[in-house]
Structure 1
């Protein structure tokens, strides 16, 4: 059964290759979407090549709605997007995938049903299909090579939907079982190095020592060190001192 999370439907209009239908299903499920509708697939339905390509997303194919006309696929929808890279001579809003999925989120949140139309691989949606849409999604691709593979277009749109649905930080760090070093731990590391470097005569001449120590501490503060990093740096210095004592 489709999941209960509010979401839009992806409509593949007259898709030609079973492999692309399967890849589209996989792309949808990668981003938590599982409502697929199919308009007269060229090679019939079900399609074993689609199942093979879906690789774990076969449930979407089993539950896909099969209809004969595009209008039947969007009959229950209050708002429809159509994906196309070509100008169609129709007066419609043209939006990026990001903006389209923002709009979809708002409309679904208001209780409306939303669908996105994806055209067949050879030439895309026909004007009769696009006439059913309320807005056009246009991907800002290279104008000299604007054609996107069906599954690629589905994946890109599904990704933008996921971005609007889940709060994902733009950057994160895998801590690998440790934590960031605290201020006191960084201070102890700085003291350890200052003491050993002082013994080694590094801070010379004496009148420049305060500034050199300040620069060293400033260097430590710029480093985003973990507790494991700090322990390793303490260990490096201790081992160097032991080696010097043994060799000296």
Structure 2
């Protein structure tokens, strides 16, 4: 059964190739969407090429709502978007995918049923299809090559949906098996280096030594060091000292 999470239905209008239907299902499920509707697929239904291409998202195909006409597919919807790259002689608000999915999230959270229509591969939605929509979604593509594959268009829209309903962290750091070094870890490292460098005569002349130590400590405090980094740097200094003692 489709999930209970409020979400829009993605309506594939007269899709022509089973492979593209499967790619659309896979793209939807990548971003947590599982309400697919299919209107008058050219090659009939079910379609084994769609199943093969779905690769793990076959449940969406099994549970897809199949309709003979677009009117039947949209009859229970409160708000409908039409995806199109071509200029239309129709007066409708035009949204970017991001703005459209923000509005879709607001409407579904309020209990409304939202649908997004995607046209057939060769020419996209007809004006008669777009006329049934409340608004248009247009992707800011290269005007000299505006054609998007059905699966690509579904993927872009589904991605923007996910961004609206899930917290997306812009930058993360994979620490592996380590943790960030704390202040005590870094302080011990700096003291280790200062002590050995002082023995080596690095902080010279004496009157400049305090300022040099401040700069040196500041250098380490700026670095995002892990505990593994700190352990390695301790080891580097210890090995250098051992090497020097052997040579002496």
Q: TM-score, normalised by structure 1?
A: 0.98
Offset, 1:233: 0.5
- What's the secondary structure of 2:37's corresponding residue? strand
Offset, 1:90: 0.7
2:125 is equivalent to residue 110 of structure 1 = no
- What's the secondary structure of 1:37's corresponding residue? strand
Offset, 1:70: 1.0
Q: Which residue matches 1:207?
A: 207
Q: Which residue matches 1:39?
A: 39
Offset, 1:168: 2.0
1:186-235 per-position Cα deviation (integer Å, ceiling 9, x unaligned): 11111111111111111111122112111111110111001111111111
Please report the RMSD computed on the Cα atoms of aligned residues, expressed in angstroms.
0.8
Q: Which residue matches 2:52?
A: 52
Count of residue pairs brought into register by the alignment: 248
Offset, 1:245: 0.9
Q: Which residue matches 2:23?
A: 23
1:145 and 1:216 map into 2 onto residues whose CA distance is 54
- What's the secondary structure of 1:88's corresponding residue? coil
* 171-180 vs 142-151, which moves further: 171-180
1:91-113 per-position Cα deviation (integer Å, ceiling 9, x unaligned): 10000000001100110111100
Q: Which residue matches 1:189?
A: 189
1:51-82 per-position Cα deviation (integer Å, ceiling 9, x unaligned): 00000000100111111111111110000000
- The runs of 4+ residues in structure 1 deviating greater than 2 Å are none
2:77 and 2:175 map into 1 onto residues whose CA distance is 45
1:200 and 1:70 map into 2 onto residues whose CA distance is 82
Offset, 1:124: 0.3
1:105 and 1:234 map into 2 onto residues whose CA distance is 52
Q: Which residue matches 1:14?
A: 14
2:138 and 2:20 map into 1 onto residues whose CA distance is 20
Q: Which residue matches 1:62?
A: 62
Unaligned residue ranges in structure 1 (runs of 5+): none
- What's the secondary structure of 1:115's corresponding residue? strand
